[in-house]
Amino acid sequence: MTGEKILIVEDERAVARGLEYGLRDAGFDVQWAENGLRALSIAEEWNPHLIALDIRLPDISGYDVCRRLRGAGHRQPVLMLTARDEEVDKILGLELGADDYVVKPYSLREVVSRIRALLRRAYGELALNSGPVTITFGPIEIDLERMWVRRNGDPVDLTPTEFRLLRQLVANADRPISREALIEAVWGYDGELGNDRTIDVHMRHLRQKLEDDPGNPRYLLTVRGIGYKFQPPASWL
Ligand code: CA
């Protein structure tokens, strides 16, 4: 599956190139506009999932681009790229409909993680299921494609079953999932290997490996009478 379409609007060629390579490397489909009017026309034709928008452009400003996009009914998330802190007040104060911002000089890692968060917020599971995705909550980092988990930067040794269970819970963030649904998702219909008790055992192991206080979990919660749910951090909501 191809990655989400990201439009970069940035007049400095070197900056745009860096972003472009970085975002492609992260699995996104990328186009670049070097000025505001070009951005509007690409947005119209290509309908990107997200727009990363520089404020200082040679023709119309990023503020104007954002205002016109919203005026034309475009609802995709906009990440503003600002050169200075003082522009942040303006972005927020103008209520342009920008969703988030980063202040230059930003790290590529920061931009990618903001973009993923915005996509997740805007498109939910769609974003989770397409392309390589790293999910971060608290000290935990999950790479869904490479199937590894880190905690405070150190690899966590999960069994394949634990990984599938975790992936299923995280992909349905904030929604309770019954034990039966988890068994089906983890072992398939041929659920010989799994029963309610095995799920509970695997959940206990997951908590021991991932939670700071396994007896009082913060992310992997029991939903009484139903099963379990992944409680996403406040920053996801
Ligand atoms: Ca600029």
Ligand 1: distance of its center to the CA of 14 in Å?
11
* Among 56-60, 74-78, 135-139, 192-196, the range of highest mean pLDDT: 56-60
Q: What CATH number is given for 129-236 in this structure?
A: 1.10.10.10
Ligand 1: distance of its center to the CA of 152 in Å?
36
pLDDT tens-digit readout, 171-199: 888 889 999 888 877 776 555 566 778 88
pLDDT tens-digit readout, 12-65: 999 999 999 999 999 999 999 999 999 999 999 998 999 999 999 999 999 899
Q: Which residue has the higher pLDDT, 33 or 232?
A: 33
Q: And the tokens for 236?
A: 């996801």
Ligand 1: distance of its center to the CA of 131 in Å?
29
Ligand 1: distance of its center to the CA of 45 in Å?
23
Residue 140 pairs with which residues in a beta bridge? 137, 151
Domain boundaries, the chain: 5-125, 129-236
Q: Each residue of 58-91: b (16+ CB within 10 Å) or e? A: eeeebbbbbbbbeeeebebbbbbbbeeeebeeeb
Q: And the tokens for 59?
A: 């023709």
Ligand 1: distance of its center to the CA of 63 in Å?
12
What superfamily does domain 5-125 belong to in CATH? Response regulator (3.40.50.2300)
Q: Record the pTM.
A: 0.53
Q: What percent of the chain has pLDDT over 90?
A: 42
Residue 11 has pLDDT above 70, yes or no: yes
